[in-house]
Amino acid sequence: MENSILHRFADELSKLEQTGNCRKLPLFTQNGSSILREGKNSYNLSSNDYLNLATDATLREDFLQLISKDNARFGASSSRLLTGNHSLYEQLESQLSRLFGTESALVFNSGYHMNVGILPAIADRHTLILADKWVHASLIDGIRLSTAQHLRYRHADYAHLEELLLQHAHRFDRIVIVTESIFSMDGDCTDLTYLVRLKHRYTNILLYVDEAHAVGVRGTKGLGCAEEQDCIQEIDFLTGTFGKALASLGGYLVCRQPIRDYLINKMRTLLFTTALPPINLMWSIFILERLDRFEDRRQQLGKNSLLLKQLIVAKGYACCSESHILPLIIGDSNATVRKAEELERKGFYVLPIRPPTVPDGTSRIRISLTAEITTALIHQLAASL
């Protein structure tokens, strides 16, 4: 029996290989903005370090000056409900609520912990979740783990969302609209102000917005698209991550106090996991204290993104991106893998994005720009296409 099961696994892997959808863990050494892999140096265009904070030696040195043998604690050793809820959590969450101007905040071990845990905690069988078709896997998993009924509206199709609300809103105690602000595969942005107006037409709607790819890079203070569109206070669950532009680890929610208190009692991925290491929280606090100082990096990232988009379109690619994430849609998975390998040979480390991450027939090269990439490199990249 065991051998037959292993054969099935092998057969499935073989099918993935044939379609170009088999994944392997890449092994490389990261050196600043470059990747060293199999003896070849390539410029890293697959990182989420959008502001280059993770590779900023000056920032790192300044932080290390604050570390001593007395405060360098590398493990929390228990969950937050036991002994892991050290004072740095309170400091970080107070800092977040002040920055966003909200009643409270809650920090999680990762964006995945956050999204897979909040929705099952707040959604019961009297709840309907309406989610954008292209929300992240962590949100999809959170929806599936909940006991709520759920429907997916066509990506960014607000007319379809309104149709679903007209059909179903009266049948449920609670509706949760779930979206991202910047979508990680196409780089397009959600009209949050439209969703806020839509929410106010009903009395039973909650709005859940994941700013994972927007926090740090959008808004004058770097607080994301909700700051940019001036609607922070209108979003019930405004979430983000420290693990991308903010160069740390963990997820956060800014919200009203009753929501925070409820999640502390009901959210399994918060209750039953070891807390973050204190030194990790110290670094997150350190970065947030300086977030408004990175406006020049945000502006440069915007300029870089606009330039590359113009060059991509001139090459004949369709590009709907409105951000620093720019996809090159190839279509076939094997062709996409070959294109990524070709670009790596030309000095650019990009990864092929294939099903099931994206729909069949839409495999792509996903370019993640950073603030530090030079104009010359952007032109070189476009020429390499």
The CATH number for 270's domain is 3.40.640.10
Cα separation, 342 vs 329, in Å, equals 15
CB 83 within 8 A of CB 92: no
Same domain, 270 and 308: no
Which of 199, 251, 245, 271 lies closest to 371, judged by CA?
A: 245
Same domain, 300 and 378: yes
Same domain, 285 and 317: no
Domain presence at residue 61: no
Same domain, 265 and 300: no
Give the CB-side neighbour count of residue 66, counting CA atoms within 13 A: 11
Tracing tokens 């309406």 back to the chain, one arrives at 130
Domain presence at residue 362: yes
CB 154 within 8 A of CB 199: no
Which of 314, 319, 337 lies closest to 385, judged by CA?
A: 314
pLDDT of residue 311: 95
- For the cut 80, the answer to whether the pLDDT of residue 1 exceeds it is no
CB 59 within 8 A of CB 53: yes
Residues 6+ apart with CB under 8 A from 216: 50, 51, 53, 222, 224, 244, 245, 246, 291, 294, 298
Same domain, 281 and 298: no
Residue type, 188: D
Domain presence at residue 3: no
pLDDT of residue 2: 64
Same domain, 171 and 318: no
pLDDT of residue 234: 98
Length of the chain: 385
Tracing tokens 């977040």 back to the chain, one arrives at 96
Domains in the chain: how many in total?
Answer: 2
Same domain, 348 and 285: no
Mean per-residue pLDDT over the chain, rounded: 94
Residues 6+ apart with CB under 8 A from 330: 336, 339, 352, 363, 364, 365
- For the cut 60, the answer to whether the pLDDT of residue 378 exceeds it is yes
Range of the domain at 224: 80-289
Same domain, 266 and 352: no
pTM (2 d.p.)? 0.94
Q: Decide which of 183 and 351 is more confident.
A: 183
Alpha helices in 208-320, H assignment, sequence order = 225-228, 257-266, 268-271, 278-289, 295-314
pLDDT of residue 150: 97
